[in-house]
Structure 1
């Protein structure tokens, strides 16, 4: 099978030669160790070497010094908004003390046309061979951004005490991402296969808010983002860290094709339970524990875990670390073991 055929067959739960795989997104601090171990000089060379299936297309969003679509909305009241690794939800947000819906436009909402380089967008997508899956990394994290807009604690208070205000901010954030994504989708039309969107609404033990709160305030926006991507013929991967079992069915019903990730050690996220509960509804991503196993385990233990996952999900699971960010404390030999075991 080609890499692309393997990806689509995996998420459609069809017969495959082996599960599709994704190395993930190494953070900059992890790259020197990875390059040294795999004897390569670029992440592309590394992915070719391990025979990976999915190549990310990073949106060229110009907002110096970060140049990161995940940092497009800086709601922090004072000082720098921070890079992805430095952002905090505990800082006071722009809407911290506001309850008047009419003040939504007081915030200086960015114009995506002024920030997305459409020429570079197309170049990045076309640079990836059509043999591989080209996945746009969109994020579009309207729940997380709403929490940052007020500051986490104030956001959750506002959600309960002033629901119209909270919803208005969420809706305005969704509107921003719909416009932003449209610019990128139009620029790369015909050269993308899938997109990764997401919101972190799970902790290690449970959801951060109730399923009904997500259904009321967040999932209508998710539905719009999913439908927009589908209108361009794209498969949708939805990311949320943590324990999100109570709303996985909701996400599938919204049109999500793949849930990312199976966070192996989070409550109710064990692969056996997911396979039993969702035997023929959507697909999953991840499963190889990045909290303990890839950090402290051995390659043989990693291989054993991969074989176990493949026995549960002979199809319907894209193998990858249980978090998309590959951190410096993960052993390169353990990452290599994932891909070696997948071919065994």
Structure 2
């Protein structure tokens, strides 16, 4: 029996039998959209999602704060005189707090109020416009750790975490409070029209964690827990994003209440599907698995199809099959996206 998109997603993340694995295309960047729509003979990404029978519909938060107009770029921490392009978000440029070590100084930054910039009317319009058969997923990000790195400049942030932990905590707590307020506005406004949310931070490099797990447990995960609990209080499934090799903190994410771990970066250390199945099959659901660093970019359609079939054998359920990065970049040939979904959509 063919399941609906929502039924398939819920069955997949609960390790129940499915007609085929749940899927998510991801977020095609604007530079990739024209090639995709042309290849598939459609006029929009919405039509593309329908044609490939995708299961998750991402709903971006309408946040109007110039120049980026994106909730992930809500804080202007970067020092303009250090940047060639001051309007671009960066983790590595020196940030506003780079020379501060007294928590009392946290109020010297002009903290934005999400109530001023988050468009409630547009939030509801976007959520109501989505066919309720889809899994309607709010793309919240709420990247409090990454924003804390921007607040100091990444190297200085990690040093502050060790040398002046109260200062780091004061900043990341204020960032977390911002997201809790912004998310509450969005959840209240879209209540009844949302099924899941995507939040997260990049904790991993290609070979391992960027930060000692104990530091994450002390300074970062308490905020993560608040964000997860908030979403769950609205009955939403939580998909937690982190690029890179994050194997050492998967147990932590499970304990924090995450429903799905995204994007299982296929070529990162210890993140291949076979290794994750060995340790976590039945314990936590995953999303990703189709390598977007090499396979989707350089591989051929046959190789992509073979990888999807391998993933389906390893995870007959429990894995939302998706590229191993949320963004579909213009270097991915559309024919490989077609091959991926042709294989996903083969019914049992």
Question: Shorter-chain TM-score category?
Answer: over 0.9
Give me the whole-angstrom Cα distance separating, in 2, the residues matched to 1:64 and 1:176.
17
Cα offset, 1:73, TM superposition: 1.2
Quick one: which of 135, 138, 144 aligns to 1:136?
Answer: 138
RMSD: 1.1
Which of 15, 18, 30 is equivalent to 2:20? 18
What residue number does 1:336 align with?
338
Within the alignment, does 1:28 sit opposite 2:30 as a pair? yes
1:237 is paired with a residue whose SS is strand
SS at match of 2:20: coil
What are the superposed Cα offsets for residues 41-81 of structure 1, whole Å, 9 maximum, x if unpaired? 21101111101110001000001221100101121121677
Question: Unpaired runs of 5+ in structure 1?
Answer: none
What is the Cα deviation at residue 133 of structure 1?
0.5
In the alignment, the residues of structure 2 paired with residue 181 and residue 24 of structure 1 have an alpha-carbon distance, to the nearest angstrom, of 21
Task: For 1:72 and 1:316, locate their aligned partners in 2 and report how far apart those are by CA, in whole Å.
Answer: 34
Residue 257 in structure 1 maps to residue 259 in structure 2: yes
Q: 1:149 aligns with which of 143, 148, 151?
A: 151
Q: 1: distance between equivalents of 2:195 and 2:101?
A: 41
Q: How does 1:46-195 map to 2 (within 5 A)?
A: 46-78=48-80, 86-195=88-197
| Distance across 2 between alignment mates of 1:89 and 1:282 | 30
Q: In 1, Cα distance between the equivalents of 2:67 and 2:34?
A: 22
> Counterpart of 2:308?
306
Alpha-carbon contact 2:78-2:86 (below 8 Å) kept: no
Q: 1:82 offset after TM fit, Å?
A: 5.5
Measured against aligned partners, the alpha-carbon deviations of 1:297-337 in whole angstroms (never above 9, x if no partner) come to 11111000000000000000001100000000001010111
CA distance in 2, matches of 1:183, 1:37: 38
CA contact (8 A) 2:80 2:86 kept: no
Contact persistence 2:296–2:337 (CA under 8 A): yes
Partner residue, 2:327 = 325
What is residue 201 of structure 1 aligned with on the other side?
203
For the residues of structure 1 that align with 2:76 and 2:201, how far apart are their CA atoms? Answer: 16
- Supply the distance in 2 between the matched residues of 1:249 and 1:217 (Cα, whole angstroms): 17
Task: Please give the secondary structure, in 2, of the residue aligned with 1:114.
Answer: helix
Cross-structure match for 2:283: 281
Q: For each residue in 1:185-208, what CA deviation from the matched residue of structure 2 results, as whole angstroms up to 9, or x when unmatched?
A: 000001000000010010000000
Counterpart CA distance in 2 for 1:177 and 1:6 is: 30
Q: TM-score, normalised by structure 2?
A: 0.97
Structure 2 unaligned regions, length at least 5: none
- Cα distance change of structure 1 residues 5 and 82 upon mapping to structure 2, 3 Å threshold: farther
State how many pairs are aligned: 342
Per-residue deviation, 1:288: 0.2
Distance in 1, matches of 2:211 and 2:267, equals: 20
Moved over 2 A (4+): 79-83
TM-score (norm 1): 0.98
Partner of 2:8 in structure 1? 6
Deviations 1:138-175 (A, max 9, x none): 00001100000000110011011001101111111111
Matched residues in 2 for 1:281 and 1:67: separation?
A: 37
